[in-house]
Chains A and B, each alone.
Chain A
Amino acid sequence: MTIMLLALVHTLWLGLQGFVYFYPLFMSYLWMMGAALFYWRFERDDVVNASQAPLQSLPPVSILIPCFNEGPHAEETIRHALATDYPDFEVIAIDDGSRDDTGSILDAMVPLHPRLRVVHMGTNQGKAMALQGGCLLARHELLLCIDGDALLDPQCARWMVRHFVADADVAAVTGNPRIRNRSTLLGRLQVGEFSSIVGMIKRAQRTFGRLFTVSGVITAFRKSALHDVGYWSADMLTEDIDITWKLQRAGWDIRFEPRALVWILMPETLRGLWKQRLRWATGGAQVLLKNLDVVAHPQQNHLWPLLLELCLSLLWSYLMVALTVIWLAGLVLPHGIVPLIGSPLIPRWSGALLGTTCLLQFAISKWLDSRYDHQLGRNYYWMVWYPLAFWLINIAATVVAFPRALGRRSARARWVSPDRGVHVSKGTTMGETHV
């Protein structure tokens, strides 16, 4: 009996180690398969330029741009949005009680641009509430929401709207964010991340059924669908993940459109990156806790694989930390106290497998995304170490975030914008301008 128990414990121990080492690899191959299937099903034949779509079939669109202290970026963002190649649209800039000159910059642009409208929040309310305000005053049924520092591709609206026209149960279409700032190693690593991880996961998730989240920086919504689920939640740290789950739980469909491009700024300091990832991880954990009851609703079975993946990723992060601690303890403690294991951070043969997988994933992402981002190949010189650099940050963020999400009381989420990388004109870091 004791031997059987010991054998069981030993098997379980080996299983846990195997899970920690090979779960990321398995998921990586699964994403590659899913992304390749997405390309084969949705992207392969679609080479016709969107500008050739018949104009009369395109319904009008309201472009919503919530801004908070976006003085340095507001005008550029609005000008790009106004340059959208679309027959009928309006741009609504929402100034959420900015403390800088954002409001006056926006107001000064209104008389010059007939399509531009500005909505001021009397006091700062947070992004979710700003979006709700813009939604309330939008004249059109389709809303294209982008961030205050995001530059919209002129064809973006056309690519997104066709999904709404084709299917009445499409509630949202999320686009393909591409990173602008590539001055530092961190910036270039993130270029690779958005191609080889974010774009690939979105494609794979769409192939297998449902998206974990839309990109808050670029998503088009159907207003009636938002109304159906009670709009964005003001108390969630990541309103984009939350609205994705609310819509999908209500039976609405959400699409990913890789041709709908938006050019964004990302953090180029470790501190800025850490703050951003911690907020994303805490928001993700909040949504996980809020939606655990999905398993009790058989009609929402389409979300079960997503929930399982979320739980496994969380478990993997904690096990990775546990194995690292056991490995370190084994190095310093006398022999026999803790089981001796190899380093989970400095793998031996599995490292070579990880490296091969990573190169393969980069190659597939280049094949998928180089049509949209022509300079992608150049960044691969800096991207080879991506798995360790970013997975470490993401593991740490996940492990820290989950207890934070558990302990977080229901409170209004306020603006927390990351640094925006190295500014081209001054060569200085755009600092933490937001609360």
Chain B
Amino acid sequence: MFDTLIINARRELGWQRRAASDLSTAMLWIGWILMWTPVFRKLREVVRLHVRFELAAREVLKTVTPISVGHAVVALLGTTTLLLLWSLLPKRRVIHAHATLTTTDHARHFGIDERQVASGLQSRICVVNHDDDGAVTGITPLYPPVQAPMVVPAPVLRFPQLEAA
């Protein structure tokens, strides 16, 4: 499967793009090799002057880093250890990880009628509509055709005391 997923359409590119790509690659390689010029020079000196390689390598390491290799290794290992220890510090942990949510919870969060969510869940194609602020205003099932959910009128709460007042 892997081989069929890789797209290598280089041969289908125009010759200009291929040439530009080859030229860029060649220039990058020249730059890469030039980056090693100081190393090549030092090697030439070592060979010409018959200096011990070990001494030359030490001198190079002193030139390359402002701190000694030993200090660099200590800094690296120290930071690694510190980060590992830091990850063991007491920290906030979620306490309700086992909570399971119902359709009601989701519907309430999105401010939409639970029955619309239920009909959307039953459908295989549906449309979700939003208002200008991005709030969900409705879910319309399209396929398979389902009966529109029976709209049960919400109970009207009456407060005789207040009405009387």
Residues of A at the B interface (CB closer than 8 Å) are 14, 18, 22, 26, 29-30, 33-34, 37, 107, 110, 116-123, 125, 129, 132-133, 135-137, 139, 141, 151, 154, 168-169, 171, 180-185, 207-210, 223-225, 227-228, 231, 234, 249-252, 263, 265, 297, 299-302, 304-305, 347-355, 373-375, 381-382, 384-385, 388-389, 412, 421-424, 426-427
Contacts and interface: CB of A to CB of B under 8 A. Distances in A.
Contacts of A168: 97-98
Given A349-B63, A427-B12, A121 B128 contact: yes
B46 interface: no
A183 B13 contact: yes
A228 B94 contact: yes
B121 A139 contact: yes
Interface string B72-98: 000110011001101101111111111
Given A136-B136, A375-B6, A424-B7, A169 B94 contact: yes
Contacts of A348: 38
A304 B21 CA distance: 42
A250 B91 CA distance: 10
B120 A301 contact: no
Given A251-B92, A424-B12, A185 B101 contact: no
B99 A353 contact: no
A224 B32 CA distance: 51
B128 A120 contact: yes
B56 interface: no
B120 A136 contact: yes
Contacts of A300: 91-92
Interface of B: 1-2, 5-10, 12-14, 17, 21, 24-25, 28-29, 31-32, 35-36, 38-39, 60, 63-66, 75-76, 79-80, 83-84, 86-87, 89-101, 105-106, 109-110, 112, 117, 120-121, 123-130, 134, 136, 139, 142-143
Given A208-B86, A300-B92, 7 more contacts: A30-B80, A118-B125, A121-B127, A136-B106, A251-B95, A265-B7, A351-B35
B134 A129 contact: yes
Contact of B83 (A183, A208, A225): A208
B7 A33 contact: no
Given A133-B136, A227-B109, A302-B89, A422 B7 contact: yes
Contacts of B25: 185, 381-382
B117 A208 contact: no
13 contacts: A29-B76, A37-B80, A120-B142, A136-B117, A169-B97, A210-B87, A224-B99, A251-B93, A300-B91, A304-B86, A355-B32, A384-B28, A422-B12
Contacts of B124: 110, 116-118
B9 A427 contact: yes
Contacts of B105: 227
A74 to B, nearest CB: 14
A352 B36 contact: yes
Contacts of B109: 227, 231
Contacts of B76: 26, 29-30, 33
Contacts of B89: 301-302
Nearest to A347: B35
Contacts of B139: 136-137
A349 B60 contact: yes
Contact of B21 (A123, A132, A185, A373): A185
Given A224-B99, A302-B91, A120 B80 contact: no
* 9 smallest beta-carbon distances between A and B, as pairs: A427-B12, A209-B87, A385-B28, A122-B129, A251-B94, A168-B97, A299-B92, A251-B92, A208-B83
Contacts of A355: 32, 35-36
Contacts of B8: 182-183, 424
B73 to A, nearest CB: 9
A183 B7 contact: yes
Contact of A180 (B5, B83, B96, B125): B5
Contacts of B36: 351-352, 355
A332 to B, nearest CB: 23
A297 B89 CA distance: 14
